[in-house]
């Protein structure tokens, strides 16, 4: 099986695990009666086009792995779909991201004002649903779940604020930006911890799943950082409105590579050929190769923790995700 086929198989399984939570979130937003037609269209567009199965799937797997019933995570998973959706919309506004891949973001399709209000709507829907979901939990778990999510989103907010203050700084150290990426993984850590809590885990198991969540969050973000150096449109937006991709920051620690990359970045229009040339320069540097080796160590750490939960079949999905985290990059 090729890497592409393996990734597609994993995506289908993640969708299966996260589908129920996503459908709950979709139904809630679809039934909501917004008096403003365009606002309603923006909320509907986002929830249908930018589907989040990952967080509900991680929540369900963590719950099952510690001996719990993953069905009990559906409502919390739906709240996560809405809350992470709100954060994503607001992040796109900050970064002025009009497209991701081949699709327009809510910001790109509806503009700043409407997309900001759409994000607010998802935020309030998510908090309302989270509160209702927590009321069904044992009292000792209710406060824990709410506190974990609050801390996770606060840490994410800190990362976004720090990143916003560093826009356009081509001398940003890779270590400083890697810390931002680590902080962005806070919601994934909170998600995994919550799944373990709902599943009745011991404190040791909750800690282990927190580490797994943080590792997965970091690796998925880092994979996106690598992908961005191959796409001219993403690279232009990173140059003009965000921080440069992490692999590029590592490569620019090399004086010769920095000179070549800077020359290309200063071009008014970056073409697909320019992006490929940047990618070639970046991937050939010793600094990036060392960083990839460090990420492989992180992958091995995640595998070692997961080996303790072999009795859960869904663990194989996470192990496959770890194995393919840096594939084809």
Which pLDDT tens digit goes with each residue over 144-202? 999 999 999 999 999 999 999 999 999 999 999 999 999 999 999 999 999 999 999 99
Distances (CA, A) of 195 to 74, 76, 265: 10, 9, 43
Tell me the per-residue pLDDT of 54-69, one tens digit each, with 9 for 90 and over.
999 999 999 999 999 9
Cα–Cα distance for residue pair 275/262, rounded to 1 Å? 12
Contacts of 120 by beta carbon, 8 Å cutoff, 6+ apart = 86
CATH among 3.40.30.10, 2.40.110.10, 1.10.600.10, 3.30.420.40 for 3-323: 1.10.600.10
Tell me how far apart the terminal alpha carbons of the chain are, to the nearest angstrom: 18
Cα–Cα distance for residue pair 145/133, rounded to 1 Å? 10
The DSSP output letter for 36 is S
Contact in structure between 55 and 191 (CB atoms under 8 Å): yes
> Which pLDDT score is estimated for 159?
97
Domain limits, the chain = 3-323
* Each residue's pLDDT expressed in tens, for the chain with a length of 329 residues: 666 788 888 999 999 999 999 999 999 998 988 999 999 999 999 999 999 999 999 999 999 999 999 999 999 999 999 999 999 999 999 999 999 878 999 999 999 999 999 999 999 999 999 999 999 999 989 999 999 999 999 999 999 999 999 999 999 999 999 999 999 999 999 999 999 999 999 999 999 999 999 999 999 999 999 999 999 999 999 999 999 999 999 999 999 999 999 999 999 899 999 999 999 999 999 999 999 999 999 999 999 999 999 889 899 999 999 988 888 77
Burial class (CB in 10 A: 0-12, 13-18, 19+), 228: buried
> Which pLDDT score is estimated for 1?
63
Cα–Cα distance for residue pair 45/144, rounded to 1 Å? 33
3-state secondary structure string, 103-166?
EECHHHHHHHHHHHHHHHHHHHHHHHHHHHHHCCCCHHHHHHHHHHHHHHHHHHHHHHHHHHHC
pTM of this prediction?
0.95
């Amino acid at each position: 099986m090729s890497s592409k086929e393996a990734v597609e198989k994993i995506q289908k399984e993640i969708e299966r695990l996260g589908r129920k939570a996503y459908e709950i979130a979709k139904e809630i937003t679809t039934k909501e009666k917004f008096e403003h037609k365009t606002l309603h269209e923006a909320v509907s567009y986002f929830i249908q086009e930018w589907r989040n199965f990952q967080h509900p799937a991680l929540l369900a797997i963590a719950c099952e792995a510690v001996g719990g019933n993953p069905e009990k995570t559906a409502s919390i998973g739906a709240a996560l779909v809405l809350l992470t959706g709100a954060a994503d919309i607001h992040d796109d506004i900050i970064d002025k991201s009009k497209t991701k891949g081949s699709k327009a973001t809510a910001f790109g399709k509806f503009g700043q004002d409407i997309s900001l209000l759409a994000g607010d709507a998802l935020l309030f829907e998510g908090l309302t649903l989270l509160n209702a979901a927590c009321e069904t939990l044992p009292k000792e778990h209710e406060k824990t779940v709410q506190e974990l999510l609050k801390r996770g989103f606060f840490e994410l907010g800190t990362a976004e604020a720090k990143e916003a203050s560093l826009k356009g700084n081509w001398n940003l150290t890779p270590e400083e930006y890697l810390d931002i990426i680590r902080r962005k993984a806070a919601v994934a850590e909170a998600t995994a911890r919550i799944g373990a809590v709902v599943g009745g885990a011991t404190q040791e198991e909750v800690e282990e799943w927190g580490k797994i969540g943080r590792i997965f969050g970091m690796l998925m973000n880092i994979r996106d950082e690598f992908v961005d150096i191959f796409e001219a449109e993403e690279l232009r937006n990173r140059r003009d409105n965000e921080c440069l991709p992490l692999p590029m920051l590592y490569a620019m620690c090399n004086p010769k590579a920095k000179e070549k990359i800077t020359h290309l970045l200063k071009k008014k229009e970056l073409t697909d050929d320019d992006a490929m040339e940047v990618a070639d320069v970046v991937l050939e540097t010793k600094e990036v190769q060392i960083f990839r080796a460090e990420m492989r160590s992180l992958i091995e750490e995640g595998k070692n923790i997961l080996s303790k939960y072999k009795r859960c079949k869904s663990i194989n999905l996470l192990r496959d995700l770890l194995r393919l985290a840096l594939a084809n990059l």
